[in-house]
Amino acid sequence: MNGGDIRPLALLDRDGTIIAERHYLSDPADVELLPGAAAAITALGDAGFAVAVVSNQSGIARGYYGWSDVERCNARMSELLAEEGAAVDGIFVCPHHPDEGCACRKPAPGLAREALAALGGDPLRCIVVGDKDCDMGLGEAVGATTVLVRTGYGAETERLGMVSPDFVIDDLRGLQQLLERLSVPGAARL
């Protein structure tokens, strides 16, 4: 693959960004898409982005639920997105406890690197979208454009001044508007 074939990459947090925040979500029946999530993911794809979900799931290490529960919730999210004509290119999960010091738990760059390797994304044209300081930290760790959403914990994160993202939007519907405002063919300069 030559440099011209490498797409920009959008790394989206799952809980509180794409789906409603549910503390330690383990039941697929509780998965609920946030307004505009599917349309924003479609808009990213239409703009030439590979789209990946990156999610910390310490509930696995804490024994609250297992891998199969996370996979079932991810599958339900994918089903709901598909019902609205949207799809992600990959889902990357950190199962570790915060105290483990792993390289994949956001804000560490491991999940981003895994997504970049798997999807062939361009790290210089990467955006990270999420509702927590760890999401913005991930973006900073890989030199990506950071976008804080006010859904989930985002409004509180913003209010507390915990981060300095490149952009702040109310929800993923704002991501579509941001792409349009930047009016970059293929969103290549993001």
Q: How many domains does the chain have?
A: 1
Confidence of residue 183 (pLDDT cuts 50, 70, 90): low
* 15 included as an active-site residue: yes
Q: How many helices (H) and strands (E) does the chain have?
A: 6, 6
The answer to whether residue 171 is catalytic is no
Please tell me the pTM assigned to this model: 0.92
State which residues form the domain around 150.
3-187
Q: Looking at residue 9, what is its pLDDT?
A: 93
pLDDT digits (tens, 9 = 90+) for 133-160: 999 999 999 999 999 999 999 999 999 9
Beta-sheet strand order (sheet of 122-130): 90-94, 50-56, 8-12, 122-130, 145-149, 167-169
pLDDT tens readout for residues 28-75? 999 999 999 999 999 999 989 999 999 999 999 999 999 999 999 999
Question: Of the residues 13, 89, 131, 135, which is catalytic?
Answer: 13
Query: 15, 89, 135, 171: which one is catalytic?
Result: 15
Residues 6+ apart with CB under 8 A from 46: none
Average pLDDT over the chain, rounded to an integer: 91
Q: Is 117 exposed, middle or buried (0-12, 13-18, 19+ CB in 10 A)?
A: exposed
Q: What CATH number should be reported for the domain holding residue 75? A: 3.40.50.1000
Check: CB of residue 51 under 8 Å from CB of residue 179. Answer: no
- Alpha helices for 4-132 (secondary structure H): 37-46, 67-83, 110-119
Region of residue 112 (left: phi > 0; alpha: psi -120 to 50; beta: else)? alpha
